Structure 1
């Protein structure tokens, strides 16, 4: 697996947005007062470089060259944009989040009330390694792990095998035997700007999207978001090579990706017919519609996910509320997206095929 430095390698989109210091925010998300770094028409595809925060943070030395050298990575295999971000982009370690986000991108014609659909067309790993960290007592077992309170950052190299690339972890530090697990790259952060002049913290997700960490957002899927400001001001970041639902240690396999994303404006009336009154992120895969529920309380996140699912089914297929509720109970899985981002996430997987007869009329 080759290293994709800025401007190198395949760039399939109509536009290219490298993750140079002037194109990123570190720890905050774009707001309505921010100046876009790129302007595109609705329907345009943009190839966007993203940079993982792992290896860049103060508890890892704020020196990606030295951090990754400690794991046997040569300097030429460390991303130059990651080095530049540490050197040139400001971040308040006491008040900002860890994530590097690329953008914002203005999409012509987008207005509040519309929906912006982000279609993930391609995800290319930029490096052959990633990092999984447990820190701050904010995983699923705060107070238990990490032992002693010190950050634990686990290096996970990628191996090319006959049946595809896998990431690996040793059974013991320094041990020869490894556990291999499949890659399923996705962007943990995809969003639109919030209204006003306050940049939201990069960790908690919300109606704007942001750090939703829904691992279903692989190539060929979409994220639908309610537009909050003119032009939408879209952004992406928090790249992953793999994640389990829950993301229990705080991070999953964090690693930089080159993402090609198509940006489509769905006018308000069409959006209501397709999605109902959308007040938060909605994922769509070829097989499923995936409403989300977000709350600091996991039980409330479940309730919000169920309400979002009911609204979607009623608006899209005209199903009576009590019957839609019965359908959800009998046929739909609710999964925990993550429990580690201050705001917990739950998502429902509604099979489109179940409504095929309704769609045919």
Structure 2
């Protein structure tokens, strides 16, 4: 792994904030590679102590922020993921009263150290799956206040837990503050889409990215570009609103950015645009009596690039 700048995991923080002092300043479009080192200390400590109330490490820290020269509100930050280097093991954990399986898993935490070797994650003694490293949490700073690295996801990004946020993907993020203030963390060795347990196979690692800037290209939510698809992120409560907003952004992309007629966009999306749940990290502030219960949902809406050819 070759990088021009390496940001250590000791720079990890528990929120995206506009008042954070940047740890690096960089000009966009230079091709300089930035390595963001991330931590798994929270999971390791929970595994050791087996008690949530004794864990003192920061949960879901993001490394950064990086100040991008010339970035202003109304621009779009493009972050291309080139590589994700994993450590030697990951973690699977169950947190009581968290995730879709809480009624089946009961009231005690569960942790499992998952070896990562030769490109595979050893889930059980007999079952292994290929690793598929991804970035769970990535975003720019909100204009005011702070945005959690756990939930909810917000206009600038956050803990979206999208499996496509992986090497080869370019992530497009709205910018609300001068310099954008990019941070990322929460690397996963592998995660099933939808993230049933609220955690994946979490792992320490280093994500290597380059940064560019699209001037005067406002977005209301993140979107991702892979080799074969555009992915539009929907944020809203209830989930039907999230789905509608994601589809609206795709529709506007076709009509406003590509000059399609509304009728053509409607018909093609009806036939070729697929929708799915992203991570269960919510898209609105959770119920304060149940701070780990997501409200709303992150949704993902997939447009094949082949329709644009």
TM-score class, shorter-chain normalisation, is 0.7 to 0.9
- Counterpart pick for 1:259 among 203, 207, 218: 207
Aligned twin of 2:249: 308
- Give the Å deviation of 1:315: 2.2
TM-score by length of 2: 0.88
- How many equivalent residue pairs? 291
Aligned twin of 1:217: 165
**Secondary structure at the residue paired with 1:132?**
strand
Query: Does the Cα contact within 8 Å between 1:290 and 1:348 map onto a contact in 2?
Result: yes
With over 3 angstroms needed to count, the CA separation of the structure-2 counterparts of 1:53 and 1:100, relative to structure 1, is farther
TM-score by length of 1: 0.76
- Give the Å deviation of 1:316: 2.5
1:155 aligns with 2:95: no
Distance 1:47 1:286 in 2: 22
1:188 aligns with 2:113: no
Q: Mean alpha-carbon deviation: is it higher for 281-290 or for 311-320?
A: 311-320
Distance 1:322 1:309 in 2: 14
1:137 aligns with 2:97: yes
- Counterpart pick for 1:322 among 251, 259, 263: 263
- Give the Å deviation of 1:288: 0.7
Q: Mean alpha-carbon deviation: is it higher for 100-109 or for 298-307?
A: 298-307
With over 3 angstroms needed to count, the CA separation of the structure-2 counterparts of 1:256 and 1:131, relative to structure 1, is same
Please say which structure displays the higher CA radius of gyration: 1
Structure 2 unaligned regions, length at least 5: 283-293
Query: Does the Cα contact within 8 Å between 2:18 and 2:181 map onto a contact in 1?
Result: yes
Aligned twin of 2:122: 168
Distance 2:83 2:281 in 1: 27
Matches within 5 A, 1:96-115: 98-115=59-76
Deviation track 1:136-194 (CA, whole Å, cap 9, x = no partner) reads 4221234x1322x112223221232xxxx111222xxxxxx411111110110111011
Deviation track 1:307-352 (CA, whole Å, cap 9, x = no partner) reads 1111111122211223212211101111211224425211111111
Aligned CA RMSD, in angstroms, stands at 2.1
**Secondary structure at the residue paired with 2:249?**
helix
Distance 1:122 1:227 in 2: 24
Distance 1:53 1:237 in 2: 12
Query: Does the Cα contact within 8 Å between 1:333 and 1:350 map onto a contact in 2?
Result: yes
Distance 1:281 1:114 in 2: 12
- Which structure features the higher share of strand residues? 2
